[in-house]
Structure 1
Amino acid sequence: MVTPGYEGPFLLGIDFGTESCRAAIFDLRGVPIGFAATPYTTSLPKPGWAEQSPADWWDALVASVRRVLNETGIPARHIAAMSSDATTMTVVAMDKTGNELRPAIMWMDVRATKQSARAETINHWARDYNGGGTMPATAEWYPFKAAWLRENEPDIYRETHRLVDAPDWVTYKLTGEWTVNINSAAERMYYNRDRGGWPVEFYDHIGCGDVLEKLPENVVDLGTPVGGLLPSVAHELGLIPGIPVAQGCADAWAGQIGLGVVQPGKTAVITGSSHVISGQSANPLYGPGFFGGFTDSVVRGQYTVEGGLVSSGSVLKWFKDNFARDVVQAAERLGLNPYRILDERAAQIPVGSDGLIINEYFQGNRTPYTDSKARGYIGGLTLGTTPEHMYRAIQEAVCYGVAHNLRTFKKAGFEATELVACGGATNSRDWMQMHADVTGLPVTLTEVGDAVVLGSCMLAAVGGQQYASIEDAARNMVHEKERIEPRPEVHEEYRFYLQQYIDQYPQVQELSHRMVDHLV
């Protein structure tokens, strides 16, 4: 990136992902000025467990901020505001002096399965967020991890002054202020302003009612100014003390904001190893097969609906690494992207992959089944099936999964009119066209593919009073690059294959569960 020829103001966004901490500087038009990333590691001490060191996070933060300032040449005095995002339900235990008591329990950690099962034994409004009470709770969410800690590490639990989600750990470290961001509270902690706030009886039933005393009292809307950057932190980061710090959120919903999906109608599709599908509704929506509608989660007065695929890009990577090594080797010799070669070969395969139907449930299903025992199934293999058929069928499976989730939304009254996409899948124009053709909806690509960290900068712009609201920031900072229209004749061809995909898993679900139970 090249330093622009004006003095700003500029915005600093911090993104704590699963693998690294990224720092980015944007201007008020949403133009990226520079990025820097510093990796850290994940510990997997037991099956189903995943932990990280907050000390590693902090070291990565310092390194990334200092590097982006140095590489862009932006003077610290020109940074008008900052905000952050982080993985959600990455739970951090803190003592009264603000020190971490143990490694953070990561979002992907599912040790709290026994505790999450208790949610199905109570009839409570909190369960509306889990498919209107029809879907099982997931062990990834906050109260279940809190109950696990209380039962299995009681000494640490007693010493814990604050048990917070990672986005709120960041806010505290930057400002010294304790908050709970509304995004984490609603999306993963069962907080509902329409129902009066925290579901106390639900937490009591799970076995951690007293954890509510370990949460900050202030539940803060996104983009709200929380405080100024602490002098000691400013010194470490190379910034100016007192810079406004705006309330941040979970990374996926920073991505939704960075795509400009802040009003009803559009639906965000955030791609990568998995897909997150989310959108905004003017009215509360609950129903089988999706999460939400989460009250005030992104924009106050609106409701966020959520669906997703556990495995999407990760299944393509699995195929590339295990069944396309010749392509990978050839791509390395030629300096090409192996996925591009695979895309070109798969483009010769007809719609529906000659009857080959794959589902992408390689690591379970997030929605519409919320089934951790789901596994991938392949139907329609013939002696004529080639690697190119397999690759295209995986791409189609992901698109079918998106369409299946959108159908589930529609049954509850949420109808998507347009998809706005970001992430790794958007590097494939053919795959984006397939998303449009299968769903029958246009797919918009924005100028900034790194929508997550842009979203954090947009929150910084609101908190720093550069824009009046998140919607105002979206109008000024998110810009459409391309709109991919569905092809009606191809969409019609896909109808049959989509229905085959939808019908396939319920017929093998019992077999899948039986096999998983046998292997445990």
Structure 2
Amino acid sequence: MPKRCTLGVDIGTSSSKGVLVAADGAILATASVAHEVQRPQAGMVEMDGRIWWHEFAELSRRLLAEASALGVEVELAGVGVSGMGPCVLLADDDDEPVRPAILYGVDTRAAAQIEWMSQQLGIDEITRVGGSTLTSQAGGPKIRWVADEEPEAFARARRLFMPASWLARKLTGAYVLDHQSASQVSPLYDIEAEAWHEPWWGRFAGGIEAPRLVWAGDIVGAVTDEASAVCGIPAGTPVIAGTIDAWSEAVSVGAHGSGDLMLMYGTTMFLIATGDETLRTPSMWTTVGAFEGTRNLAGGLATSGALTAWLKGLTAADYPTLLAEAAESGVGARGLVMLPYFAGERTPILDPDARGVVAGLTLSHTRGDLYRAALEATALGVRHNVETMRAAGADIRRIVAVGGGTQGALWLQIVSDVTGLEQEVPQTTIGASYGAAFLAATATADVAPPSIADWNPVASTIRPRPEVAADYDVLFERYLRLYAATAGLVHELAQVQREAGESDNDHESAPDHDNVHDHDSAHDHDSADDHDNDRQEDAR
């Protein structure tokens, strides 16, 4: 008897990943394919968007073939898609890209356009309409950059895509964009109206047709005969719109309800807090949620797993050894405070010229102390984001932890201790592709839609230890003072590094999360969705 399944594919920064999932949430097959971004100049990160469709086709054929090899007869009920973002892929009348896709906040080329648009429109008005100030994460200035710097390409541009919407177009012919992704094309989207802001779209994206807006789980069409011949998915299979990878990952673990905070452990850290109201703060990203009626505050650390990986390489020690030594070091790393800003920092300080600092070093400190300080530094960065979100009005009641870094018990415990929040760790942390498959299963359910609690139950809960709370309160206050006291000097050093040819932008990553390290083993792990999404700069 055929097994009813859905297929999910996520396009990440360094790889694309796919999963074939049964109606009860069981994973039948997984596949991935690696790729690279291009960096034509310092601060520029882009990718040939045509790769996204080629890799989707490869993954879908591999997933179906793997199921067949296992003797599973598949009844494919639907297809889900997601991808890094916000990205800007401009295409012509024939859906041919006019230039490579410009990636999310890791690409900082549009600094001049951000400044000019902010002056033209006014920061207060931009925030009122779009929810957030303009940063390297915003899609609108990237579109304007193409118009300013590559006018011939812009003159041919007729459509705007991101990875998920590009796949939906290739599979079904639908030209759509989900609301969550659209809300990151700042300032061209009106967050309260949940619609394109037509005056600014016409002014800054003139000549480009605005994609029809839908929600992430909406069915936008069916696989065409032409697409079926390429990817092997039966013609007529429903396809959902999908969304940006970090939000799809939040769906995969049920972290999209009011009061939820998804914390993605990866090469970077990415955070998404969900609520019912639009909250605005200049140091975080305000977006529409994946589902109608929800709003998000999002943020991210520029380094987390990347920092611990750097220390591993520097010390030539394996992770089990470093973890054991870090555990022995204890709370406060024997008098060390570290700022984790080794690739600048995203939220809440929004400082690309921030740099890593280690204060309190003596000749008696060990590599275990440094490793403990690095783990605590990322946890302190998470707390800084959480407290900034709360100050803006966010009601954060629980953390759901995702990503490859959730394999590390010590890291998880330190984050809970520093923030004072429980963390739920789900059974499956495969990532955004799993969330896309779940959205497709929900959209195509014959009777009652599936529950993510049934698909992906909580495997463990990490609780903060009250006996260390006071020590970490003191450490957090020192962490904040250390940045304030050293910012001027490290900005000077960042300029020295630029003059010496060192591009910090080349090391930034966002939501999405690339190679994540398992801090309880000697092996490296890919993050749940790649993101990046790296993401991620970021949401990715």
Q: Would the TM-score normalized by the shorter structure come out above 0.5?
A: yes
- Correspondence for 1:333: none
- Tell me which of 453, 456, 472 is aligned to 1:478: 456
Does residue 81 (structure 1) correspond to residue 78 (structure 2)? The answer is yes
Aligned to 2:342: 362
The one of 151, 159, 163 aligned to 2:160: 163
When residues 424 and 212 of structure 1 are mapped into structure 2, their CA distance, relative to the original with a 3 A threshold, is farther
Which of 437, 453, 458 is the aligned partner of 1:457?
437
Match of 2:148 among 143, 147, 151: 151
CA contact (8 A) 1:112 1:140 kept: no
Is 2:266 aligned against 1:286? no
Aligned to 1:97: 94
Determine whether 1:223 maps to 2:201. no
Per-residue CA distance 1:167-219 (angstroms, 9 max, x = gap): 21121111111001111111343423424633455567xxxx24154143411
Correspondence for 1:348: 328
Determine the C-alpha separation between the residues in 2 that align with 1:285 and 1:140. Answer: 18
1:111 to 102, 109, 122: 109
**TM-score by structure 2 length?**
0.87
How big is the shift at 1:69?
Answer: 1.4
Structure 1 residue corresponding to 2:44, chosen from 49, 69, 72: 49
SS in 2 for 1:43: coil
Would the aligned equivalents of 1:28 and 1:461 in 2 still touch at CA under 8 Å?
Answer: yes
What is the rounded CA distance, in whole Å, between the counterparts of 1:85 and 1:186 in structure 2? 16
Equivalent residue number for residue 69 of structure 1: 64
Match status 1:270 vs 2:272: no
Give the drift of 1:35: 0.5
Match of 1:3 in 2: none
Amino acid at match of 2:175: W
Q: C-alpha displacement at 1:17, in angstroms?
A: 0.5
1:406–1:415 CA contact under 8 A, matched in 2: no
Aligned counterpart in structure 2 of residue 314 of structure 1, from 291, 295, 306: 306
Name the SS of the counterpart of 1:278 in structure 2: strand
Say if 1:40 and 1:57, in contact at 8 Å, map to a contact too.
no
Q: Distance in 2 between matches of 1:76 and 1:382?
A: 63
The corresponding residue for 1:425 is 405
CA-CA distance at 1:462 after TM superposition: 2.5
- Counterparts of 2:360 and 2:443, CA distance in 1: 54
Q: State how far apart, in whole Å, the 2-side matches of 1:46 and 1:455 are.
A: 34
Shift of 1:67: 1.3
TM-score, length-scaled by structure 1: 0.90
Q: 1 CA distance for matches of 2:207 and 2:406?
A: 43
Q: Distance in 2 between matches of 1:188 and 1:489?
A: 45
Within 1, Cα distance between the matches of 2:199 and 2:342? Answer: 36
Which of 306, 309, 315 in structure 2 is aligned with 1:324?
A: 315
Q: Aligned partners of 2:447, 2:427: CA distance in 1, in Å?
A: 20
**Greater helix fraction, Structure 1 or Structure 2:** 1
State the secondary structure of the residue aligned to 1:143: helix
The alpha-carbon deviation at position 105 of structure 1 amounts to: 1.6
1:125 aligns with 2:125: yes
Contact 1:21 1:37 in 2 (8 A): yes
Q: Does the 8 A contact of 1:245 with 1:463 survive in 2?
A: no
Partners of 1:96 and 1:75 lie apart in 2 by: 41
Provide the secondary structure at the position in 1 that maps to 2:195.
coil
> Residue type of the partner of 2:374?
I
User: What is the CA distance between 1:89 and its match in structure 2?
Assistant: 2.4
SS in 2 for 1:9: strand
Q: For 1:279-328, what per-residue CA distance to the aligned partner results, in whole angstroms no more than 9, with x for missing partners?
A: 21122211243221x23x2121111111211111111111112x222x2x
In structure 2, relative to structure 1, the CA distance for the partners of 1:215 and 1:273 (3 Å cut) is farther
The one-letter code matched in structure 2 to 1:11 is T
Q: Distance in 1 between matches of 2:242 and 2:379?
A: 30
Structure 1 contact 180–215 (Cα < 8 Å) conserved = no
For 2:6, what is the secondary structure of its paired residue?
strand
Deviations 1:396-434 (A, max 9, x none): 100011111111111112132111011121011111111
| Contact kept? 1:368, 1:405, Cα under 8 Å | yes
| Range moving further from structure 2, 188-197 or 394-403 | 188-197
Count residues in correspondence: 492
Residues 202 and 507 from structure 1, CA distance in 2 versus in 1: closer, same or farther, beyond 3 angstroms?
farther
Alignment of 1:181-220 (within 5 A): 181-190=178-187, 191-195=189-193, 197-200=195-198, 209-211=203-205, 213-220=207-214
Q: Which residue of 1 aligns with 2:33?
A: 38
- Which residue is equivalent to 2:537? none
| Letter matched to residue 461 of structure 2 | R
Task: Choose from 18, 23, 26 the match for 2:13.
Answer: 18
Mapped to 1, the partners of 2:179 and 2:238 lie a distance apart of 19
Q: CA RMSD in A?
A: 2.1
Structure 1 residues 89 and 375, CA, compared in 2 at 3 Å: closer, same or farther? same
Taking the aligned partners of 1:374 and 1:350, their CA distance within structure 2 comes to: 27
Give the AA of the match of 1:197: A
Displacement of 1:511 in angstroms is 1.9
Assess, with a 3 A threshold, how the Cα gap between structure 1 residues 55 and 467 changes in structure 2: closer, same or farther. farther
Residue aligned with 2:341, SS: coil
Is the contact between residue 16 and residue 85 of structure 1 (CA under 8 Å) also seen in structure 2? yes
| 5+ long unaligned stretches in structure 2 | 499-540
- Is this contact kept in 2: 1:312–1:360, CA < 8 A? yes
Does residue 441 (structure 1) correspond to residue 438 (structure 2)? The answer is: no
